[in-house]
Chains A and B, each alone.
Chain A
Amino acid sequence: QVQLQESGPGLVKPSETLSLTCAVSGYSISSGYYWGWIRQPPGKGLEWIGSIYHSGSTYYNPSLKSRVTISVDTSKNQFSLKLSSVTAADTAVYYCARLRAMVSYYFDYWGQGTLVTVSS
């Protein structure tokens, strides 16, 4: 069974960089698939942040592209998100998920999510 688990600070100061890691178990990232980050501000809908292929190719939401970096560490079977220059608008539950993007296109496995609050 594929499982994903987000980890990282729950509180980040404005203008600093948000850093999260998603540990994957039950599947080797290097075997394939895309891996993505999605966020959900309190009481609002889902917003795709970006995705990365196991080879390292990345795709970012155009509205966040200038501030986002997603990387993968196949040796640790995990991938990471960095979002720079955060503001209160970046406060959200951040989810990592596996993206099936060959012939189909959908997120089939999700982490439980982690709340990140941007506040001084």
Chain B
Amino acid sequence: QSALTQPRSVSGSPGQSVTISCTGTSSDVGGYNYVSWYQQHPGKAPKLMIYDVSKRPSGVPDRFSGSKSGNTASLTISGLQAEDEADYYCCSYAGSYPLFGGGTKLTVL
């Protein structure tokens, strides 16, 4: 199975909004509402930010939101802050197993 497709990098200035896309197929992203997003700072473990496409775990700021259209899921971060600079990974259920995206490096300018 191939990894989900994410842009290698995105950037934005503090206060702006950025959107990270995650493209799969009808067998994964498009077939289930089970897309999750993880934030990973250097040397740290991934942290769950969004699950089931658009749900936020307790403690995650509402600046983080998720959506999906067809075979593409998106993570939007509004009101960018310096601490949002990190790698972001999407993950989708693909019918008995999870499939991760290649990761996107977010730079806060």
Contacts and interface: CB of A to CB of B under 8 A. Distances in A.
Contact of A48 (B45, B99, B103): B99
B34 A106 contact: yes
A45 B48 contact: no
A106 B45 contact: no
A105 B32 contact: yes
A25 to B, nearest CB: 16
Interface of A: 36, 38, 45-48, 51, 59, 61-63, 95, 99-100, 104-108, 110-113
Interface residues of B, number: 25
B45 A95 contact: yes
B43 to A, nearest CB: 9
B96 interface: yes
A38 B40 CA distance: 14
B97 A48 contact: yes
16 contacts: A38-B100, A45-B89, A45-B103, A46-B89, A46-B91, A48-B97, A51-B97, A59-B97, A61-B97, A99-B98, A105-B34, A105-B93, A106-B52, A106-B91, A107-B98, A110-B45
Contact of A62 (B1, B51, B101): B1
Given A45-B89, A48-B97, A48-B98, A107 B103 contact: no
B45 A108 contact: no
Given A45-B102, A46-B89, A62-B1, A107 B48 contact: yes
Given A46-B46, A63-B1, A111-B45, 11 more contacts: A45-B3, A45-B89, A46-B89, A99-B98, A104-B52, A105-B51, A107-B36, A107-B48, A108-B51, A110-B46, A110-B47
